[in-house]
Structure 1
């Protein structure tokens, strides 16, 4: 906005609002509401932008008390302090408004100055509170980020604790990815893309995170769980959600939403018979549905503590036929497509336990999904065939793999077809248990060539009849079995539909007249989806007659309803709804005889079923009875709830997003922008006459205006979608990068008339990208430009400069740098180059180019100088700076350099030629005795150009610019951990690490000191010495920390580091201690835990006063930290072992028995 804070005035009196408006309009932005409902709307619209609310208590529609209550419930009150202005000065009124959350109460009539000051104080307090909230939120975000690594380890911890497998999580991730990719290809309705698939795949690792809260006695029980134990085991889904809520990571909220859904819902099933919430159908998130299949398949095909693995083919059939619970038909189609890949992964990533999983035979190329047909086309072929056989049991069979899928089951008499791990087993079980004995041999012919003849003879269908047992009447009825071939166009594919349909309908009751009509009516009523036919209008709603629809709805028989519930409908009603149902019945009955009720029932499995109850009340025998029809509305109620939550989520997202939403009306040339514009830029946008006003008075950067105009032209021309990036200035004059994503809307004539989209903040990404580009252009050691980027900068200037511009190029080389490397080592040489680079950079302008182009070679380009003497003076300053460098710390070493200088006017020269001139001048400076500057002259033209001609390699010392790559922190970490985890003895591992560090960094001595028991003395416990260095470990025992009134531990900084490049600068007894060991330079890291000093890890140089680079210090600090952590852990374990030995010794002397009980099961351990 305009920098002012916003106040909401809610008062139904226009005069009162005018008075308050006059008081605050100069200092605040004002919003006004004339009733409580308007006030709540404005609060929800502007949310945290409202600094305070001035609220009257007596208002129409909703009074001040209702506003306060709803603000508290909606969490708005926390962001918007409320000042109540009322004429009611009673103590009761004051207490009530303060209890509801008001910040202050002002009594009418009021003093204007007093009101202004009180409002000012409260808004300032609110502003400070919001600033504090921001700081707390940032700290909380950092804390959550620090815990992010824990999430990646939890799944591994769980799988080892549950004794499942080391490969289980890996397989789940791969199964999930494979199945998701097939779902994305065949069912675009799920809107899966590569990013979502990756997020869901990663989140699938956490599906069983809640098992960490399940007792071992249940988690690893070898036998079948009891019902109580299973209830505890089912709680792992909710326990996992609680853990995830605590581990929430703000930077990737979408990942945690998927993880939460997978953790909570991966045991839900398509028919609503899963847990914990009994979700049904597509109300189960697709991510949880996919992981459920992956988890189920892995559980079947791997050994578990309570069962052995089964073959993948059998597991495949069990899942398809609902033996592990029902899954989405769409996902099962995709599951068929990836069957072979699942089986291969099961074999490739098996657990290698004693009982190996059987491998499935490889299916031929004509398996599911072959010949270029996708799942949708296969489904269309199947369901066209099924249209001719409605209300029949349908089985899909693949003869090549013997995999079958009971696609559609309408009659429980055919349920035996579900059994068996293959098509042959299913047919044999069905023939044995459900087919007439005389027809069984004919039934088994399905397995012995009957189906093959369908393909051999090119037929499309075959039919036979069998007698099948109807269990309700305990009689055999004739059933027609029809074979229908799938995909006639593909002769290599052997897949059929086997359709079972009873020929004769169930016998109807035979009666005449009224009895026949009543029987027919009862038969029709029995076909209804649900409902009580007749009940009394008493307090129990006693059931008089009930149809099979209610029986099927609740899974209770009529006998159970009578014996268990005494035919009382009220006892079947969900307990919280009973009083509400009775009240609804009384209220509607008093208004008429036709009633419409809604309530919840509880079925046999404990699931909640929503019903709509339509009743007509009649009088029979002097008492009222109700004829009722019940309809299952569970799915619609859940859909309504999902819609409500979806709309609420959409509203929340729109309110909380930082993006700016825009709509451009091309016809009127008007622009609408959401409130985030003013929140981000601090001023109102241009909204009228956009094409003319934006280019004229726009806040868009002039260089980016063509991109904005091109975007408008593209939308006007009917381009469906276009993006553009440009900079917009904010209220304080800073340009911010924004990305505009615009989509054109078309009218009925397909002409563009509007453009809608979002303006996204990409300023941080642009800044980060610029940083990375700059980093890529820099030398890794010195931070100066590298050779390639320097050449680009020089060439860009030469291409654009004026003909009269004077420029200078210097080529600098450090004299005799090889001797420095040979004497002090490459690391010291690197440190010299870093120091020299810093000094050179300080001597030049920001527009000058200073680059490191080789080991000890530098290039400096000075564009647009006024005269040549400026460059010559800079060259002299460079040689002087190098001569004085490190004079104090390296008294016996002198540094010098040679400089070649070339001048040019204009840009009519190639970079290689200009550099060659400077290089030839450097060559002359070296030849004439070094330590000097030489200007290029025309007679040098014939001399070779060193760097680009390849001849200076012999005359100059090169340090590889990537010498730091000889060691790296990553390789150091890897080698250190290899030593720690590979050694059998901890002391040997520590000694090896000290030797590694000493040799890698060319250190004289590496060592560890540990504090004694009193904490006041230390002992040298580990030491490594370079060749020629005298060991000190035997003489450095019981060395006191405090002497001559000074504590040696005070030398360590807060980060635990003590670094002294020259030990001669240390005073007192500590200097004598180091001199006695011939130490010239030392770097030590403190071993601390909870603020207590336990010793130190040290690195000494006894030959030179070493100058460490920042990277080297960081590396040694890491080694110090790592050794301190493992050393403290090792000492703690030693102390624990010693305590256990002492405890056993004491217990062995006791004449008593000790018992140890498991806290979960109370059994003896």
Structure 2
């Protein structure tokens, strides 16, 4: 059975809406809105609209304002709009097209034209979506394969050249930073985003030619002879030849760029480089940038023939021309990105705990005499690379490296001055974790014990002391495993980050300084303005747990409402930022839940007519996707620059398995995990056919979504199996939620299949980590539920 397209008709005249539905017939599903504001509200709840028919002249919010809002939220890219109006002025029609309308239909309606234009637009967008999905899949697979192959080739060179994974990582990082700064300074080189990505990727192959250089020369600790240096110099032309011998070179810009980088990354601006003595802009910009990045990393890295220079010394040497001449504009770019490079250098300086663990692992490997010597270095490289990759994704906070053999934890606190930054703790010491509660300590230990070589990472939130109070902090941990000792982990690396409380930028509040006493009438006027921006604006006295109000004279009065009642907690808030905003006379924000929704909360201290209080401003969140359990952070679908369409299941409009696997490590903090399975789904397919099965899955997904919050994540995990993730929920609330889901599914009616009745089996767990273990337990409970139902 073909799924009906859903059309939203937005018109303040009910008759016009009815006429359009009669003209279009019953082959479509309809959603109606009486004005633009109602239409926007509907879209905030459900983006599953295939086409919008939009009137221009309406109360509250007209059609042009709706288009403005759809452009602001980028909805116009996903939902085509046909304007409907009796207005035929040229400037009105032009404005509609400029704002993104796909077509314009004038009243009175011509039934044939309306049907044909609606069908044409729906067909066009359906084809676009299908093509976008195909292209997205191809790009995703191509990028994965490219990165994999380039990674393999570059690590082969590192392995022979006694370099760690740091070198390639640093080259790529510095190359990207230089390129992005360069395009900010000039458009002379016409570098697109695609060019930046390709050059950064190709930079990993700059030394591929060294694969043909004898190791005795590559790893010689002393000064090279003239003959040896001549041999080393040939790695540029050898690398270019390797790339050029690929028959698809002319068809692949990535290979062309890689060939330029390989051959010319040792050329210099004044012509004194090699192998061809190119001068100035004769050197391709890709090779110029990688040459500068390579020199910087060579200076700041320890090599077999020299110790590492510090960041400042390396920078001075390059700018003084001691390492050859470079493009003056690139040297300015290098100075601009120097603070970021310095931060990376400081970060690397703190890697000594990691290196000591590498030494320990080296001893373990070397003692395994049955391992071929050719494989020992590979084990070392893999262990070092694993730590590198983890720490490379982190900046700041408190980072630690735990060795399960010595039971020592090397801690680096980047918030402390250098002289106090590094400490070593002994896990065997009972005072080692006095900052942790017993509950959090056991949660951490259990989560670490539950890791496996297949599922090494987990995230959780723990309470940490701050002066005389406690605050939630984010903890991310990656366990380490030896292939030679597979029975248990050999250590762990991790990061602890305290929440960043950033004051919200609300221009209307600029006139309300925390130190001044505000006039009640002025505040009342501001509250009225803010209610057009936020879903809820209220004044509270957190010391008395009371909601306040301003009467018509601007006098502040206490109401009989309890301020925490809104959150349905049955008591006071566990993380009341209004109390802290009041005591600190400042403005703070957080993310908080009710049983049905998620809110962004801003609390601002005020003193109204001499009475201190707090203004709370609440906005309901619709697009948040959580990555920890306590609301300190959340992940937006487009936060990595990827199209949301990459991660949507086209049949059910839920998230796909790819979404879950891509963001797996970020979902470790989910408090509750459920598996939902459709009962007797095979029988549905066998009895009614696969089209009916598709309808069943689509409607069940819609039923589940109608019962959950916008912050909860629904994933089509398998064929007829769904994964449901709750960032914050008690077991009792989860049980109530399951009753609602089962009832919603049972109430689904299929007019085409009147004898078809549906049910689902649900299994769920709370507080289980890591997430794959939670899924395993939830799946087991689901099958127990299926057997007993």
TM exceeds 0.5? no
**Which structure has the larger Rg over C-alpha atoms?**
1
Query: Which one scores higher on RCO, CA 8 angstroms, separation ≥ 6?
Result: 2
